[in-house]
Amino acid sequence: QVQLQESGPGLVKPSETLSLTCAVSGDSVNNHKWNWIRQPPGKGLEWIGYIDYSGSTNYSPSVKSRATISVDTSKNQFSLKLSSATAADTAVYYCARSIEGWELYDSTGFYYFDYWGQGTLVTVSS
């Protein structure tokens, strides 16, 4: 069973860097793509970005200039750093695995988030 667990400070000061880590068990970070997704209080989901099995990254245009996702294969975990944090970054942050491939029986493609962490609330406030 694949499990993901976010960790990091729950409170970050404005202009500082928000840093989170996602520990993965039941799978290797050398497989698939590993994502960060956030949800401001009372609002919807927003994809932040992913890192894939080769270490390549892809970010949402809304955070691209401030976000860095990295992976530590020795610890089987990946991380998010979001610089110059503001109150607008206050959210529950989720890490999630995305899988993609082709159905064996009809060759239809699939690509979706199949495992999620429980989420961690990060508040940006002085």
Partner 1 sequence: QSVLTQPPSASGTPGQRVTISCSGSSSSLGRINVNWYQQSPGTAPKVLIYTNNRRPSGVPGRFSGSKSGTSASLAISGLQSEDEADYYCAAWDDSLNGWVFGGGTKLTVL
How far, in Å, CA of 25 to CA of 8, rounded? 18
- DSSP for 66-77 reads TEEEEEETTTTE
The residue (of 29 and 37) whose beta carbon lies closer to partner 1 is: 37
CB of 73 to partner 1, least distance (A): 24
Q: Are 49 and 36 in contact (CB under 8 A)?
A: yes
- Which residues fall within 8 angstroms of residue 117, CB to CB, at 6 or more apart? 4, 5, 6, 22, 94, 95, 96
How far, in Å, CA of 51 to CA of 13, rounded? 26
The residue (of 64 and 75) whose beta carbon lies closer to partner 1 is: 64
Binding characters for partner 1, 96-125, by CB under 8 A (x = yes): -------x----xxxxxxx-xxxx------
Is 59 a binder of partner 1 (CB under 8 A)?
Answer: yes
Site for partner 1 in 27-56 (CB under 8 A): 35, 37, 44-47, 49
Residues engaged in binding partner 1 (CB under 8 A): 35, 37, 44-47, 49, 58-61, 94, 103, 108-114, 116-119
